[in-house]
A and B are shown apart, each in its own frame.
Chain A
Amino acid sequence: MHQFMIEPMFGSANWELAGFNIAFTNSALWMLIAAVALWAFVLGGLKRELVPGRWQMAVEVFTGFIDDMLEANIGKAGKKYVPYIFSLFMFILFANLLGLIPLPLAMAGLHAFTFTSHFTITGVLAIMTFAIVLIIGFAKHGLHFFSLFVPHGTPVPMIPLIFVIELISFLFRPFSLGLRLFVAMMAGHVLLEVLASFVIDSSNAGAVWGLAIGAPAFVLMLAICALEILVAGIQAYVFALLTSLYINDAENLH
Protein backbone atom coordinates (compact mmCIF):
# COMPACT_ATOMS: atom_id res chain seq x y z
CA MET A 1 0.00 0.00 0.00
CA HIS A 2 3.08 2.17 0.11
CA GLN A 3 2.48 3.19 -3.50
CA PHE A 4 -0.65 5.08 -2.47
CA MET A 5 1.09 7.05 0.26
CA ILE A 6 1.11 10.78 -0.16
CA GLU A 7 4.29 12.46 0.99
CA PRO A 8 5.26 16.13 0.97
CA MET A 9 8.20 16.89 -1.29
CA PHE A 10 10.96 19.49 -1.30
CA GLY A 11 10.32 20.28 2.39
CA SER A 12 6.95 21.77 1.62
CA ALA A 13 5.18 19.89 4.44
CA ASN A 14 4.22 23.04 6.25
CA TRP A 15 3.05 25.20 3.38
CA GLU A 16 -0.25 26.75 4.29
CA LEU A 17 -2.89 28.83 2.62
CA ALA A 18 -5.55 30.45 4.79
CA GLY A 19 -4.83 27.93 7.49
CA PHE A 20 -5.08 24.91 5.20
CA ASN A 21 -2.12 22.74 4.44
CA ILE A 22 -1.11 22.88 0.78
CA ALA A 23 2.08 20.85 0.84
CA PHE A 24 3.48 20.08 -2.60
CA THR A 25 3.20 16.29 -2.44
CA ASN A 26 4.21 13.50 -4.77
CA SER A 27 0.56 13.51 -5.81
CA ALA A 28 0.79 17.16 -6.82
CA LEU A 29 4.08 16.44 -8.60
CA TRP A 30 2.45 13.77 -10.75
CA MET A 31 -0.48 16.04 -11.47
CA LEU A 32 2.04 18.56 -12.68
CA ILE A 33 3.87 15.93 -14.74
CA ALA A 34 0.59 14.80 -16.31
CA ALA A 35 -0.37 18.40 -17.03
CA VAL A 36 3.00 19.23 -18.60
CA ALA A 37 2.99 16.01 -20.62
CA LEU A 38 -0.51 16.81 -21.85
CA TRP A 39 0.51 20.36 -22.68
CA ALA A 40 3.56 19.09 -24.59
CA PHE A 41 1.45 16.52 -26.41
CA VAL A 42 -1.13 19.05 -27.55
CA LEU A 43 1.60 21.60 -28.36
CA GLY A 44 3.06 19.08 -30.82
CA GLY A 45 -0.29 19.04 -32.58
CA LEU A 46 -0.48 22.81 -32.80
CA LYS A 47 1.64 23.09 -35.91
CA ARG A 48 -1.53 23.84 -37.84
CA GLU A 49 -0.26 22.26 -41.01
CA LEU A 50 -2.67 21.57 -43.81
CA VAL A 51 -1.24 18.11 -44.28
CA PRO A 52 -0.75 16.87 -40.71
CA GLY A 53 2.29 14.97 -39.54
CA ARG A 54 1.95 11.96 -37.29
CA TRP A 55 1.97 13.94 -34.07
CA GLN A 56 -0.53 16.50 -35.26
CA MET A 57 -2.66 13.64 -36.57
CA ALA A 58 -2.59 11.98 -33.13
CA VAL A 59 -3.71 15.16 -31.38
CA GLU A 60 -6.40 15.73 -33.96
CA VAL A 61 -7.62 12.17 -33.48
CA PHE A 62 -8.15 12.89 -29.77
CA THR A 63 -9.89 16.24 -30.28
CA GLY A 64 -11.98 14.69 -33.05
CA PHE A 65 -12.85 11.78 -30.77
CA ILE A 66 -14.09 14.09 -28.01
CA ASP A 67 -15.87 16.28 -30.54
CA ASP A 68 -17.66 13.29 -32.08
CA MET A 69 -18.63 11.94 -28.66
CA LEU A 70 -20.18 15.27 -27.65
CA GLU A 71 -21.85 15.64 -31.01
CA ALA A 72 -23.37 12.16 -30.66
CA ASN A 73 -24.47 12.59 -27.04
CA ILE A 74 -25.46 16.24 -26.83
CA GLY A 75 -25.81 17.40 -30.42
CA LYS A 76 -24.76 20.72 -31.90
CA ALA A 77 -24.77 22.36 -28.46
CA GLY A 78 -22.08 19.89 -27.35
CA LYS A 79 -19.35 21.79 -29.20
CA LYS A 80 -18.87 24.32 -26.40
CA TYR A 81 -18.07 21.58 -23.87
CA VAL A 82 -15.16 20.20 -25.91
CA PRO A 83 -12.49 22.13 -23.92
CA TYR A 84 -13.76 20.81 -20.58
CA ILE A 85 -14.36 17.22 -21.64
CA PHE A 86 -11.07 17.15 -23.54
CA SER A 87 -9.15 18.45 -20.51
CA LEU A 88 -10.93 15.98 -18.25
CA PHE A 89 -10.45 12.98 -20.52
CA MET A 90 -6.83 13.68 -21.39
CA PHE A 91 -5.85 14.65 -17.85
CA ILE A 92 -7.29 11.41 -16.45
CA LEU A 93 -5.85 9.36 -19.33
CA PHE A 94 -2.37 10.80 -18.85
CA ALA A 95 -2.62 10.33 -15.07
CA ASN A 96 -3.69 6.71 -15.47
CA LEU A 97 -1.00 5.89 -18.02
CA LEU A 98 1.81 7.77 -16.26
CA GLY A 99 0.87 6.01 -13.02
CA LEU A 100 1.57 2.70 -14.74
CA ILE A 101 5.17 3.51 -15.62
CA PRO A 102 7.06 0.67 -13.94
CA LEU A 103 10.71 -0.13 -13.55
CA PRO A 104 12.95 2.52 -15.09
CA LEU A 105 11.74 5.24 -12.76
CA ALA A 106 11.66 2.98 -9.72
CA MET A 107 15.30 2.00 -10.29
CA ALA A 108 16.17 5.69 -10.16
CA GLY A 109 14.40 5.91 -6.84
CA LEU A 110 11.34 7.63 -8.29
CA HIS A 111 8.05 5.87 -7.88
CA ALA A 112 5.21 6.61 -10.23
CA PHE A 113 2.18 7.84 -8.36
CA THR A 114 -1.31 7.35 -9.71
CA PHE A 115 -3.24 10.29 -8.30
CA THR A 116 -6.45 9.00 -9.89
CA SER A 117 -6.33 6.19 -7.33
CA HIS A 118 -7.27 8.73 -4.68
CA PHE A 119 -10.88 9.59 -4.15
CA THR A 120 -9.84 13.03 -2.97
CA ILE A 121 -8.95 13.62 -6.64
CA THR A 122 -11.62 11.62 -8.46
CA GLY A 123 -14.22 12.93 -6.02
CA VAL A 124 -13.30 16.55 -6.76
CA LEU A 125 -13.38 15.88 -10.51
CA ALA A 126 -16.79 14.23 -10.13
CA ILE A 127 -18.13 17.06 -8.00
CA MET A 128 -16.82 19.54 -10.56
CA THR A 129 -18.73 17.73 -13.30
CA PHE A 130 -21.82 17.51 -11.13
CA ALA A 131 -21.62 21.21 -10.33
CA ILE A 132 -21.36 22.02 -14.03
CA VAL A 133 -24.41 19.86 -14.72
CA LEU A 134 -26.39 21.64 -11.99
CA ILE A 135 -25.30 25.10 -13.11
CA ILE A 136 -26.13 24.45 -16.76
CA GLY A 137 -29.39 22.74 -15.85
CA PHE A 138 -30.72 25.50 -13.63
CA ALA A 139 -29.34 28.31 -15.79
CA LYS A 140 -30.95 26.90 -18.90
CA HIS A 141 -34.23 25.51 -17.60
CA GLY A 142 -34.71 27.12 -14.20
CA LEU A 143 -36.96 25.12 -11.91
CA HIS A 144 -38.19 23.24 -14.95
CA PHE A 145 -34.94 21.28 -14.56
CA PHE A 146 -36.74 19.21 -11.91
CA SER A 147 -38.85 17.66 -14.67
CA LEU A 148 -35.69 15.64 -15.34
CA PHE A 149 -36.77 13.49 -12.40
CA VAL A 150 -40.17 12.70 -13.91
CA PRO A 151 -39.72 10.66 -17.09
CA HIS A 152 -42.27 11.06 -19.85
CA GLY A 153 -45.42 8.96 -19.55
CA THR A 154 -45.16 8.39 -15.81
CA PRO A 155 -48.67 7.70 -14.42
CA VAL A 156 -49.74 10.55 -12.12
CA PRO A 157 -50.02 8.48 -8.91
CA MET A 158 -46.47 7.23 -9.47
CA ILE A 159 -44.93 10.69 -9.86
CA PRO A 160 -43.98 11.30 -6.19
CA LEU A 161 -42.33 7.90 -5.87
CA ILE A 162 -40.53 8.10 -9.23
CA PHE A 163 -39.43 11.64 -8.42
CA VAL A 164 -37.77 10.52 -5.21
CA ILE A 165 -36.10 7.54 -6.85
CA GLU A 166 -34.84 9.59 -9.77
CA LEU A 167 -33.63 12.33 -7.43
CA ILE A 168 -31.66 9.85 -5.35
CA SER A 169 -30.16 8.24 -8.45
CA PHE A 170 -29.28 11.71 -9.70
CA LEU A 171 -27.62 12.64 -6.42
CA PHE A 172 -25.61 9.45 -6.49
CA ARG A 173 -24.04 10.34 -9.81
CA PRO A 174 -20.98 12.14 -8.41
CA PHE A 175 -20.31 9.26 -6.05
CA SER A 176 -20.54 6.58 -8.73
CA LEU A 177 -18.53 8.74 -11.10
CA GLY A 178 -15.72 9.41 -8.64
CA LEU A 179 -15.66 5.99 -6.99
CA ARG A 180 -15.62 4.07 -10.28
CA LEU A 181 -12.37 5.66 -11.43
CA PHE A 182 -10.76 5.51 -7.99
CA VAL A 183 -11.67 1.84 -7.45
CA ALA A 184 -10.65 0.74 -10.93
CA MET A 185 -7.24 2.39 -10.70
CA MET A 186 -6.59 1.26 -7.17
CA ALA A 187 -7.69 -2.33 -7.79
CA GLY A 188 -5.39 -2.64 -10.79
CA HIS A 189 -2.39 -1.37 -8.89
CA VAL A 190 -3.12 -3.56 -5.86
CA LEU A 191 -3.47 -6.58 -8.11
CA LEU A 192 -0.11 -5.85 -9.74
CA GLU A 193 1.48 -5.34 -6.34
CA VAL A 194 0.09 -8.63 -5.03
CA LEU A 195 1.34 -10.53 -8.08
CA ALA A 196 4.72 -8.81 -7.81
CA SER A 197 4.99 -9.84 -4.18
CA PHE A 198 4.21 -13.43 -5.26
CA VAL A 199 7.12 -13.30 -7.68
CA ILE A 200 9.55 -11.87 -5.15
CA ASP A 201 8.49 -13.91 -2.10
CA SER A 202 8.37 -17.21 -4.01
CA SER A 203 11.77 -16.54 -5.55
CA ASN A 204 13.18 -15.77 -2.13
CA ALA A 205 11.85 -19.12 -0.91
CA GLY A 206 14.00 -20.97 -3.45
CA ALA A 207 14.40 -21.69 -7.16
CA VAL A 208 11.74 -24.40 -7.15
CA TRP A 209 9.12 -22.18 -5.63
CA GLY A 210 10.25 -19.36 -7.81
CA LEU A 211 9.71 -21.40 -10.97
CA ALA A 212 6.50 -23.00 -9.74
CA ILE A 213 4.76 -19.86 -8.49
CA GLY A 214 6.90 -16.87 -9.39
CA ALA A 215 7.15 -17.58 -13.13
CA PRO A 216 3.40 -18.05 -13.76
CA ALA A 217 2.69 -15.04 -11.56
CA PHE A 218 5.13 -13.01 -13.64
CA VAL A 219 3.45 -14.07 -16.87
CA LEU A 220 0.10 -13.18 -15.37
CA MET A 221 1.54 -9.81 -14.34
CA LEU A 222 2.51 -9.06 -17.92
CA ALA A 223 -1.01 -9.84 -19.05
CA ILE A 224 -2.51 -7.75 -16.26
CA CYS A 225 -0.22 -4.87 -17.21
CA ALA A 226 -1.67 -4.95 -20.73
CA LEU A 227 -5.13 -5.08 -19.20
CA GLU A 228 -4.29 -2.12 -16.97
CA ILE A 229 -3.30 -0.03 -19.98
CA LEU A 230 -6.68 -0.87 -21.45
CA VAL A 231 -8.39 -0.03 -18.16
CA ALA A 232 -6.54 3.30 -18.02
CA GLY A 233 -8.05 4.24 -21.37
CA ILE A 234 -11.47 2.81 -20.65
CA GLN A 235 -11.85 4.52 -17.27
CA ALA A 236 -10.86 7.88 -18.72
CA TYR A 237 -13.33 7.28 -21.53
CA VAL A 238 -16.10 6.22 -19.14
CA PHE A 239 -15.55 9.31 -17.02
CA ALA A 240 -15.71 11.58 -20.06
CA LEU A 241 -18.65 9.69 -21.56
CA LEU A 242 -20.72 9.82 -18.37
CA THR A 243 -19.86 13.48 -17.95
CA SER A 244 -21.10 14.18 -21.46
CA LEU A 245 -24.27 12.16 -20.80
CA TYR A 246 -24.96 14.10 -17.61
CA ILE A 247 -24.34 17.39 -19.40
CA ASN A 248 -26.76 16.19 -22.07
CA ASP A 249 -29.42 15.75 -19.36
CA ALA A 250 -28.85 19.32 -18.26
CA GLU A 251 -28.69 20.67 -21.80
CA ASN A 252 -31.66 18.85 -23.32
CA LEU A 253 -33.62 17.44 -20.33
CA HIS A 254 -35.39 14.37 -21.66
Chain B
Amino acid sequence: MPQIAQLAEVWSSQLFWLLVIFGAVFFVVGRGMVPKVMDTVGLRDKQIADDLAAAQAAREAADEQEEAWRNRENENRAAAHALVNEAKAKAQASTEKKLATAQAKIDARAEEAEARIAAARDEAAAEIESVASEAAQDIVSRLAGIEVTKPAAAAAVKKAMANG
Protein backbone atom coordinates (compact mmCIF):
# COMPACT_ATOMS: atom_id res chain seq x y z
CA MET B 1 0.00 0.00 0.00
CA PRO B 2 1.83 3.13 -1.21
CA GLN B 3 0.01 5.24 1.36
CA ILE B 4 2.03 3.53 4.08
CA ALA B 5 5.10 2.47 2.11
CA GLN B 6 5.76 6.04 0.94
CA LEU B 7 4.69 7.75 4.14
CA ALA B 8 8.15 8.70 5.36
CA GLU B 9 9.23 10.32 2.11
CA VAL B 10 6.02 12.10 1.07
CA TRP B 11 4.26 13.26 4.23
CA SER B 12 6.01 16.62 4.32
CA SER B 13 5.26 17.43 0.71
CA GLN B 14 1.65 16.23 1.08
CA LEU B 15 1.18 18.38 4.17
CA PHE B 16 2.84 21.41 2.60
CA TRP B 17 0.92 21.37 -0.66
CA LEU B 18 -2.36 20.57 1.03
CA LEU B 19 -1.96 23.52 3.37
CA VAL B 20 -0.93 25.82 0.53
CA ILE B 21 -3.63 24.74 -1.88
CA PHE B 22 -6.45 24.23 0.59
CA GLY B 23 -5.48 27.52 2.20
CA ALA B 24 -5.76 29.18 -1.19
CA VAL B 25 -9.13 27.53 -1.78
CA PHE B 26 -10.35 28.66 1.64
CA PHE B 27 -9.23 32.27 1.30
CA VAL B 28 -9.90 32.82 -2.40
CA VAL B 29 -13.00 30.72 -2.94
CA GLY B 30 -14.42 30.27 0.57
CA ARG B 31 -13.77 33.72 1.99
CA GLY B 32 -13.61 35.68 -1.24
CA MET B 33 -16.26 34.34 -3.56
CA VAL B 34 -18.79 32.37 -1.54
CA PRO B 35 -20.01 35.38 0.52
CA LYS B 36 -20.62 37.26 -2.72
CA VAL B 37 -22.61 34.38 -4.14
CA MET B 38 -24.66 34.20 -0.95
CA ASP B 39 -25.13 37.96 -0.98
CA THR B 40 -26.58 37.66 -4.45
CA VAL B 41 -28.96 34.99 -3.23
CA GLY B 42 -29.89 37.11 -0.23
CA LEU B 43 -30.41 40.15 -2.43
CA ARG B 44 -32.63 38.18 -4.75
CA ASP B 45 -34.66 36.77 -1.85
CA LYS B 46 -35.03 40.28 -0.48
CA GLN B 47 -36.08 41.64 -3.85
CA ILE B 48 -38.65 38.89 -4.24
CA ALA B 49 -39.98 39.57 -0.75
CA ASP B 50 -40.11 43.31 -1.49
CA ASP B 51 -41.89 42.75 -4.78
CA LEU B 52 -44.41 40.49 -3.10
CA ALA B 53 -44.98 43.10 -0.42
CA ALA B 54 -45.42 45.81 -3.07
CA ALA B 55 -47.88 43.64 -4.97
CA GLN B 56 -49.80 43.01 -1.76
CA ALA B 57 -49.87 46.74 -1.00
CA ALA B 58 -51.07 47.54 -4.51
CA ARG B 59 -53.77 44.95 -4.18
CA GLU B 60 -54.89 46.38 -0.87
CA ALA B 61 -54.94 49.89 -2.37
CA ALA B 62 -57.03 48.61 -5.27
CA ASP B 63 -59.43 46.94 -2.84
CA GLU B 64 -59.67 50.16 -0.89
CA GLN B 65 -60.41 52.18 -4.03
CA GLU B 66 -62.99 49.70 -5.13
CA GLU B 67 -64.61 49.94 -1.72
CA ALA B 68 -64.59 53.75 -1.93
CA TRP B 69 -66.01 53.61 -5.45
CA ARG B 70 -68.72 51.24 -4.25
CA ASN B 71 -69.60 53.58 -1.40
CA ARG B 72 -69.74 56.53 -3.75
CA GLU B 73 -71.87 54.58 -6.17
CA ASN B 74 -74.24 53.59 -3.40
CA GLU B 75 -74.48 57.20 -2.28
CA ASN B 76 -75.19 58.36 -5.82
CA ARG B 77 -77.83 55.72 -6.19
CA ALA B 78 -79.42 56.75 -2.93
CA ALA B 79 -79.33 60.41 -3.99
CA ALA B 80 -80.96 59.55 -7.31
CA HIS B 81 -83.62 57.57 -5.50
CA ALA B 82 -84.28 60.49 -3.21
CA LEU B 83 -84.53 62.81 -6.21
CA VAL B 84 -86.99 60.51 -7.96
CA ASN B 85 -89.05 60.14 -4.80
CA GLU B 86 -89.11 63.89 -4.32
CA ALA B 87 -90.24 64.44 -7.89
CA LYS B 88 -92.91 61.81 -7.46
CA ALA B 89 -94.12 63.43 -4.26
CA LYS B 90 -94.12 66.86 -5.91
CA ALA B 91 -96.06 65.59 -8.88
CA GLN B 92 -98.50 63.87 -6.59
CA ALA B 93 -98.91 67.00 -4.51
CA SER B 94 -99.50 69.18 -7.57
CA THR B 95 -101.98 66.65 -8.95
CA GLU B 96 -103.81 66.64 -5.67
CA LYS B 97 -103.86 70.41 -5.58
CA LYS B 98 -105.22 70.61 -9.11
CA LEU B 99 -107.80 67.97 -8.27
CA ALA B 100 -108.75 69.90 -5.17
CA THR B 101 -109.21 73.18 -7.06
CA ALA B 102 -111.16 71.44 -9.78
CA GLN B 103 -113.27 69.75 -7.11
CA ALA B 104 -113.80 73.08 -5.39
CA LYS B 105 -114.87 74.67 -8.67
CA ILE B 106 -117.21 71.81 -9.41
CA ASP B 107 -118.58 71.95 -5.88
CA ALA B 108 -119.16 75.69 -6.17
CA ARG B 109 -120.95 75.27 -9.44
CA ALA B 110 -123.02 72.43 -8.09
CA GLU B 111 -123.92 74.50 -5.07
CA GLU B 112 -124.84 77.43 -7.22
CA ALA B 113 -126.93 75.21 -9.40
CA GLU B 114 -128.59 73.73 -6.36
CA ALA B 115 -129.28 77.23 -5.06
CA ARG B 116 -130.72 78.11 -8.39
CA ILE B 117 -132.86 75.02 -8.40
CA ALA B 118 -134.00 75.77 -4.87
CA ALA B 119 -134.82 79.33 -5.88
CA ALA B 120 -136.71 78.13 -8.93
CA ARG B 121 -138.58 75.63 -6.82
CA ASP B 122 -139.49 78.27 -4.26
CA GLU B 123 -140.58 80.56 -7.02
CA ALA B 124 -142.60 77.78 -8.57
CA ALA B 125 -144.10 76.95 -5.16
CA ALA B 126 -144.98 80.60 -4.63
CA GLU B 127 -146.50 80.74 -8.08
CA ILE B 128 -148.48 77.60 -7.41
CA GLU B 129 -149.66 79.17 -4.16
CA SER B 130 -150.74 82.38 -5.83
CA VAL B 131 -152.34 80.47 -8.70
CA ALA B 132 -154.02 78.17 -6.18
CA SER B 133 -155.27 81.07 -4.10
CA GLU B 134 -156.59 82.82 -7.18
CA ALA B 135 -158.19 79.63 -8.28
CA ALA B 136 -159.64 79.13 -4.82
CA GLN B 137 -160.99 82.70 -4.86
CA ASP B 138 -162.47 82.10 -8.22
CA ILE B 139 -163.98 78.75 -7.24
CA VAL B 140 -165.38 80.14 -4.03
CA SER B 141 -166.93 83.14 -5.79
CA ARG B 142 -168.44 80.98 -8.47
CA LEU B 143 -169.75 78.26 -6.19
CA ALA B 144 -170.68 80.20 -3.12
CA GLY B 145 -170.87 83.71 -4.50
CA ILE B 146 -168.84 84.89 -1.73
CA GLU B 147 -166.15 87.33 -2.38
CA VAL B 148 -163.09 86.11 -0.54
CA THR B 149 -160.26 88.44 -0.03
CA LYS B 150 -156.97 87.57 -1.51
CA PRO B 151 -155.12 87.23 1.79
CA ALA B 152 -157.78 84.94 3.22
CA ALA B 153 -157.67 82.78 0.15
CA ALA B 154 -153.90 82.66 0.32
CA ALA B 155 -154.01 81.70 4.01
CA ALA B 156 -156.49 78.97 3.29
CA VAL B 157 -154.41 77.63 0.42
CA LYS B 158 -151.30 77.69 2.54
CA LYS B 159 -153.05 75.75 5.25
CA ALA B 160 -154.39 73.19 2.80
CA MET B 161 -151.02 72.83 1.10
CA ALA B 162 -149.27 72.49 4.44
CA ASN B 163 -151.64 69.65 5.25
CA GLY B 164 -151.52 68.22 1.76
Is B17 a contact partner of A22 (Cβ separation < 8 A)? Answer: yes
A117 touching B3 by the CB < 8 A rule? yes
Q: Is the Cβ of A28 less than 8 Å from the Cβ of B21?
A: yes
Contact of A118 among B9, B14, B36 (CB under 8 A): B14
Quick one: which of B7, B21, B37, B44 contacts A45, CB cutoff 8 A?
B37
The contact size tier of chain A is 35 or more
Whether B24 and A50, one on each chain, are in contact in the complex, defined by CB atoms closer than 8 angstroms, is: no
Report A8-45 CB contacts with B as 1/0, cut-off 8 Å: 10000001010011111101100110110011001101
> A39 and B28: CB pair below 8 A?
yes
A185 CA to B59 CA, complexed, in Å: 57
Q: Are A23 and B34 in contact (CB under 8 A)?
A: no
Cβ A124 vs Cβ B33 within 8 A: no
Are A59 and B15 in contact, CB atoms less than 8 angstroms apart?
A: no
- Contact at B17–A39, with CB atoms within 8 Å? no
Chain A at the B interface: SS class: helix
Q: Check: A67 CB closer than 8 A to any chain B CB.
A: yes
**B14 CB, nearest partner CB in chain A, Å:** 4
A87 and B30 contact, CB distance less than 8 A: yes
Shortest C-beta distance, B27 to chain A (Å), equals 9
Contact B35 A31 (CB under 8 A): no
Partner of B22, one of A6, A39, A67, A91: A91
Tell me the chain A residues, 178-203 only, with Cβ under 8 Å from chain B: 182, 186
Judging by beta carbons under 8 Å apart, are A35 and B15 in contact? no
Query: Is A138 an interface residue, CB under 8 A from the partner?
Result: no
Query: Does B69 sit within 8 A of A, measured CB to CB?
Result: no
Give chain A nearest CB distance to B159 CB in angstroms. Answer: 129
A86 within 8 A of B: yes
Is B29 an interface position by the 8 A CB rule? yes
Q: Specify the chain B residue showing the minimal Cβ separation from A8.
A: B13
* A120 & B25 in contact (Cβ 8 Å cutoff): no
A46 within 8 A of B: yes
Residues of A within 8 A of B13 (CB): 6, 8, 15, 20-25, 27-28
Q: Using an 8 Å CB-CB cutoff, how does the interface string of A113-138 with B read, 1 for contact, 0 for none?
A: 00101111100110010000000000
Chain A proximity of B25: nearest CB distance (Å):
5
Given A1-B1, A31-B22, A48-B39, 8 extra CB contacts under 8 A: A23-B10, A27-B17, A28-B17, A31-B18, A32-B21, A60-B41, A87-B26, A186-B3
Which residue from chain B places its CB closest to the CB of A40 in the assembled complex?
B29
Taking the complex as formed, is B145 at the interface, i.e. its CB lies under 8 A from any CB of chain A? no
Q: Which residue of A lies closest to B47 (CB)?
A: A50
Give the distance in Å from the alpha carbon of A120 to the alpha carbon of B2 in the complex: 11
CB distance from B83 to the nearest CB of A (A): 57
Whole-angstrom distance between the alpha carbons of A46 and B47 in the complex? 18
A224 interface residue, CB < 8 Å from B?
Answer: no
Say whether B6 contacts A6, CB under 8 Å. Answer: yes
In the bound assembly, the distance between CA atoms of A14 and B34 in angstroms comes to: 37
B33 to chain A, nearest CB (A): 5
Tell me the nearest residue of chain A to B14, going by C-beta.
A120
Q: Could you pull out 28 A-B pairs where Cβ atoms are within 8 angstroms?
A: A1-B1, A20-B13, A22-B17, A23-B10, A24-B17, A28-B14, A31-B18, A32-B17, A34-B21, A39-B25, A39-B33, A42-B33, A46-B36, A46-B37, A48-B39, A60-B41, A63-B38, A67-B38, A82-B30, A82-B34, A83-B30, A83-B35, A86-B29, A87-B26, A87-B29, A90-B29, A120-B3, A121-B14
